[in-house]
Chain A
Amino acid sequence: MSGRSSWSALWSTRAARAAGWVLGLAALVALLAPLWPLPSPARIDLSRALRGPEAPWTRGFVTAPADATLELGAVDQALDAARRALFGARESAAWLGTDSKGRDVLARIVWGSRVSFLVALCAGLTSLVIGVAFGAVSGYAGGRVDEFLMRVVDALQSLPFVFVVIFVITLAGAWKQELLALGVSREVLLYVLVGAVSWLTMARIVRGQVLALRSAEFVLAARALGASHLRILWVHVLPSILPVVIVYLTLSVPSILLMESFLSFLGLGIEPPRVSWGLLAADGADALNPLRIPWWLVVFPAAAMGAVLLALNVLGDELRDALDPRQARERSA
């Protein structure tokens, strides 16, 4: 793969640039969440429950009440201090409304994106590293190795995921203190579990592709000229399957986000006061009733999620095109 030309090809299309900006912006907002002058996403104030959105120009900033902040890590504390220095006690009014417990929707979207992005990143990386490696080795080695590795995938895939999660989370509950001492919270456990299932399908897909490529003539030619197996896999096989890997990766992220929301909805995932996009969607759906429709609880989180997923899919699509030398040249010509 000739790196530079495909990156410049990618950046030359307007759709890819737009998607890149959206994702970059979303990542920045999520990373620097404590820096923004937002109300605490965990502050419950029933007197302000279910207020509709107010435009920033009608009511911009209000004075924040002193409240117990979230448990933050060292970096986040520094960011929080920076916010105090910059904005003092000011914070945004409820621009996107409040939920049934009076929590600010905008703050919850921003803070929730952190958890959701982390889950997606976790799943994406495991399926990229473990899934691709597992599938590539299985498909390339063939024979008994392939048979064995694929039966492992079969076995893991046949486990009913929800039961496994319930089992592990419950078990972890019994050992909570010991695990926390090791730095493993329930959230970390969730990331690990989501990662553990997300690579299975990737391994299958990669294995099938590699199996087909293994006997391709250019692979044979590389072997005839003495390329080692590792070099063949890395230099000759992987670049050819990259488009498939990328497309599958971008397709799997939405389902990962939904899986997280499902688990959180069951009370197995993220625990309040923490928040994730999945929880927001579940809360929003809960709050809807025939008498009163707090549409902002559904529309804004869904819009945020939709924008990020759309950008992700566009970027994946454009990346796949850019990695195919034939298409890249045709477009620039």
Chain B
Amino acid sequence: MTSLLSVAGLTVEFERGATPLRAVAELDLELAPGEILAVVGESGSGKSVSALALFDLLPPGARVRSRRMQFAGRELSALAPRARRALCGREMALVFQDPQSALHPCLTVGRQLGEVLEQHERLSRAAARARAQAALESVGIAEPARRLDAFPHELSGGMRQRVLIAMALIAAPRLIVADEPTTALDVTLQAQVLELLRARVREQQAALILITHSPGVVASVAERVLVMYAGRAVEEGRVEDVLLRPRHPYTRALLECVPRLDRPVDAALRPIPGAGGDAGRERAGCAFAPRCALRIERCERERPELEGQAGGGRAACFRAGDLEALR
């Protein structure tokens, strides 16, 4: 399998006072063309920061290190800023979370879509407009010709998200990173947008990284899933394995926070005690230990590595093997 995206040892630190704040630590990512990977985790687990690091969009105070950050065989960190920018939008695209603020309020939709093409393909404004119309049509917007002249505030939330997706897809990139593309939408729209993303990704043979905190989204779209906690990958595997037989106590706890139809109504949801993992403070042991029900003494001393588990998938937990028995 030749991978489209291959990241090893990605670490992102922010300078805050004396000790740097480590938002992402030693993250590895492999993605094949056409694959859909979901990245799951609580707020502050480093999902979005990793995505921004791929696109070189972190604010100046951030330090990004990695052993390897290859996209289609090219080392991203070795590229000149200009060359890297040429990749963004054309070969790899990022879909932002909030369509309200990610679209420019004073530019028409057609203009914003056309911008991408004007930048990358040196198209004239008229040619870009024609392509923009086609792009709007492809994401299922009715009356695309009329919508081209609409301003973002004249569109509904779902339509705005579609426009954002159309913007990301317009230059037919090979990698799409969608940062919580459905969080700002209501449930019916979520399904539509996810289906749209999946269909378009399949059509273009592009790979998709879907950042989300909703296991429901993961189950409906992704093939592989990566669970992050406090800036580290804690579990990784095929969707069925991870969702049905989680190997990490955090993954299990996360799944138990979600209301489900196949459980009795009065079965209480179990929130994870304590606050989300503080990515900034490096602990000696496992970052999840303070909130973990299965904590043993070893968890406080040693940090578990991400290791292959019996039955496929990888998890970073000393008690991954016991989890099955405790079920």
- Identify the A interface with B (CB < 8 A): 1-2, 142-143, 215-218, 220-228, 231, 235-236, 239-240, 323-326, 329
Contacts and interface: CB of A to CB of B under 8 A. Distances in A.
A226 B106 contact: no
B89 A226 contact: yes
B60 A143 contact: yes
B167 A216 contact: no
Interface in B145-202: 149, 151, 153-154, 164, 167-168
A284 B149 CA distance: 54
Nearest to A142: B60
A145 to B, nearest CB: 11
Contact of B108 (A2, A222, A223): A2
Interface stretch (B29-37, B113-121, B255-263, B296-304): B113-121
Contacts of A326: 105, 151, 153
B111 A2 contact: yes
Interface stretch (B93-101, B228-236, B286-294, B316-324): B93-101
Contact of A240 (B55, B86, B106): B106
Contact of A216 (B57, B101, B115, B116): B101
Nearest to B88: A226
B57 A220 contact: yes
Contact of B106 (A143, A223, A231, A239): A239
B167 A225 contact: yes
Most chain B beta-carbon contacts within 10 A, residue among A221, A222, A231, A239: A221
Interface string B262-278: 00000000000000000
Contacts of A240: 104-106
A147 to B, nearest CB: 13
B87 interface: yes
B168 A325 contact: no
Interface string B105-133: 11110010001100110000000000000
B96 A220 contact: yes
Contacts of B93: 224-225
B85 interface: yes
B160 to A, nearest CB: 11
22 contacts: A1-B106, A142-B60, A217-B98, A217-B101, A217-B102, A218-B105, A221-B167, A224-B57, A225-B116, A225-B167, A226-B88, A226-B90, A226-B116, A226-B120, A227-B116, A228-B85, A228-B119, A239-B104, A239-B107, A240-B104, A326-B105, A326-B153
Contacts of A236: 104, 107
A227 B87 CA distance: 10
Contact of A225 (B88, B108, B153, B154): B88
B59 interface: yes
B103 interface: yes
A240 B152 CA distance: 14
Contacts of A221: 94, 96, 102-103, 164, 167
A235 B55 CA distance: 21
Contacts, number: 90
Contacts of B119: 225-228, 231
B107 A225 contact: no
Nearest to A1: B106
A220 B164 CA distance: 13
A236 B103 CA distance: 10
A217 B96 contact: yes
Contacts of B86: 226
A224 B151 contact: no
A329 B120 contact: no
A224 B96 contact: yes
A225 B60 contact: no
A239 B167 CA distance: 20
Given A217-B98, A236-B104, A239-B106, 9 more contacts: A142-B60, A215-B59, A218-B103, A218-B104, A222-B104, A224-B89, A225-B168, A226-B88, A326-B105
Contacts of B85: 223, 226-228
A224 B120 CA distance: 13
A37 B41 CA distance: 81
Contact of B57 (A2, A223, A325): A223
A161 B87 CA distance: 50
Residue among A1, A226, A235, A323 with the highest chain B CB neighbour number at 10 A:
A226
A333 B111 CA distance: 22
Contacts of A143: 60
Interface in B225-255: none
Contacts of A1: 106-107
Given A142-B60, A231-B115, A325-B153, A226 B87 contact: yes
B123 to A, nearest CB: 14
Contacts of A323: 106
Contacts of A239: 104, 106-107
A213 to B, nearest CB: 10
